Structure 1
Amino acid sequence: MNILVLGSGGREHTLAWKISQSFNCTQVFVAPGNAGTDLIAINVDISVNDFSAIGEFVLENEIDLVVVGPEDPLVNGIRDFFEANEKLKSINLVGPGKVGAQLEGSKDFSKIFMQKHGVPTAEAQTFSADTIDQGYTYLEGCDMPIVLKADGLAAGKGVVIAQSIEEAKDTLKSMLLDKQFGDASSKVLIEQYLDGIELSVFVLTDGKDYVVLPEAKDYKRIGEGDTGLNTGGMGAVSPVKFADKAFMDKVEEKVIKPTVDGLKADNIDYKGFIFIGLMNVGGEPYVIEYNVRMGDPETQVVIPRIQSDIVDMLLAAAEGTLGDYKLEIGEFNVAGVVLVSGGYPGSYEKGKSIQGLADVTNSLVIHAGTTQEDYEVLTNGGRVLTIIGRGDDMEAAISNAYKDVNSIKWDGMYYRKDIGKDILAPRIF
């Protein structure tokens, strides 16, 4: 099979890496890809939102399966584009259509969906610029802290936890009137703050059946001890020890089944991943958000734990035969440390020469913001690499990752030194 992966980040490099190991894969293409995918696949210089060019490439290169990595083309309707084209509609594609993608594309849509189908989630109300005064009044009746979320896609940065009513009102004004996140904050959810510990659960569904992939915990803040600005993710670990069988059984019964059943009840034909951001509150799961694709950097620690053939799994989801697929998960632990450009998540420079890649011997190196010029790998983004360590226990996985982090260098490189270490200490819920 010829397989096309859309995207250019660490998530897409990880998917392409795993797909390339399948006996069912003839050739992997990645559009547009990065310096890492160039080592295991053929990079294609096409934007993920250039649907016409993607369609032409698929037909010209006899692509059998398209795997959509990022959220943008899903929210913009790439599945709908394929299904509306006589020549493309028979191509297998992993990713929901435009309506299903609103689970991520609109926080308001997803909140209404959860409330309608009985999925446990925080209480919330939505406001616009026209109803901002009602929003101010609503805030005065809320307990602090409070969460404010931009309704639309904001590159993972449209969430603010306000510690006081004054801060919350200022944030609401910045989002709605000052358009802090552009069109993404034309509507804002004011949401109850949940006190617990976060984790991510990943589901692949064909619209009828589903498989639950390994869970993960990621680290969003730039500073150690979860301080500083939010980022796209500074690292991740899998498995998550507080997500034991009893808790995961609750997740399946209270969250996953109502979600999949809700999609069916609403006649939303959904073939793809559902990333469920959860809060463990006293041993009970509450949904913070849905994403309609795999997470990044969680993909980098989840996919390596899959022992069964991932192409079989992806094809079954696309064809509607996932009920026959047997998912096999490794018992080992995986930890990922993200290396970023100095200044991220603010301004940063690109084009820095990365040294030491050949010296990494025990870990998997996943590329994100990289490019290659004259056989030299250069930085090309904020999040540049993820170093993936593996071990029989989490302590060993973390240690192995950091050993190889020390082999990598470029001018201004930064990383957190505490990824995964918080869950090594016992925690009682």
Structure 2
Amino acid sequence: MLTIEELQSITLERQGLCSNSPFGNGKDAVCQALERLGYLQIDTLSVVERAHHHTLWTRIPDYEANYLDELVQERQIFEYWFHAASYLPVRDFRFARPQMLAVRDNESHYYKADSMIMQYILDTIRAEGPKRARDFENQAKKTGSWWDWKPTKIALERLFLQGDLMIAGREGMQKTYDLPERVLPAAIDLTVPSPREYANYLVKTYLNAYGWTTLKQITHLKIGEAIRKDVKEVLSVMQEEEMVEAIHIKGYPTVFVQRDLLEAKVRGNSPKVRLLSPFDNAIIHRDRVKQFFDFDYRIECYTPKEKRQYGYFCLPILLGNTFIGRVDCKAHRKLQQFEIIHLHLENQLIDFELWAKPFAERIKQFILFNRCTSLKLTQVSPRNKASAVRKLLENLF
């Protein structure tokens, strides 16, 4: 029987949060990380470095932001939806096809695009090559144009979601669209998986990424009883074949653990500090983190200011296996100044000397990653820790 602490260690090790370079170095490490994690959520918010870059930097010390674009160009990864906009390994492309076909067949989808505009976009890209959205914006402004800009944006997104276009690259967050046959490798498997194959893909993706999982996590944001039934059947077969084992701990949901990990020696996580993105794979399943790590985390950037408890864009602070707080921060890039708006220290049982130096080292690395050269500390909670924290951080730069 595994303990909660052992489950924590297993999942953090599988997530690549227990050592400095768990996936190696450079661009190859990005491929290794993505194949382990299963997906990498893309986010447009840039209060600090965007989530997809932050998540990889946390695991790859020499990570560079251009790696993702290069891997798209090299046809090793692609963009689509997992539970949100994501980068995925190109080997998994066929498992995105059911959702693409579902969008194509859904006449009531929230992206209701004009069929004539969609056909014009496809014909233009087929004849002229990859296009950005703003290329069509210029066309829409021409005198006598029969379409305008807003429907074009909707049409582009609809074509992307139903698989008629793919994202061939980015300039920052500006997407370039092209036809799938010019983006995908020539030998890619385009076979649409059966519902049972898709359920098997989901189960194995989560087990590979976390070492153990729950039924709720596997079916996160998946609609309908059919997918739950298929997932249960896949788990049942995997138990019969002794690939996974169901673990029952009082007060917790049933956990399905990879059998080989049960037999391996579970190592405790070293007392390193990690500053996680709000969209990091290790934190994105909020119920799981609350249940198994006793850390109640919600991102508050979508919450009205007067209702926020911690701040606009708080980063969870992980020390070893324990979340010790969160830090609301912002990179003022024009000033090259990084501001800690509010540092919330929540686990008062953790000795200051245990986390202080690792935190200072990590925050300095993160400041440099955000292309800043100075630090401003505004607020610390609880207040009785403020003086010690200020002294700790005052000589970082």
TM-score (norm 1): 0.30
Q: Which has the higher strand share?
A: 1
Q: Flag the structure with larger Rg.
A: 2
Larger relative helix fraction: 2
TM-score (norm 2): 0.31
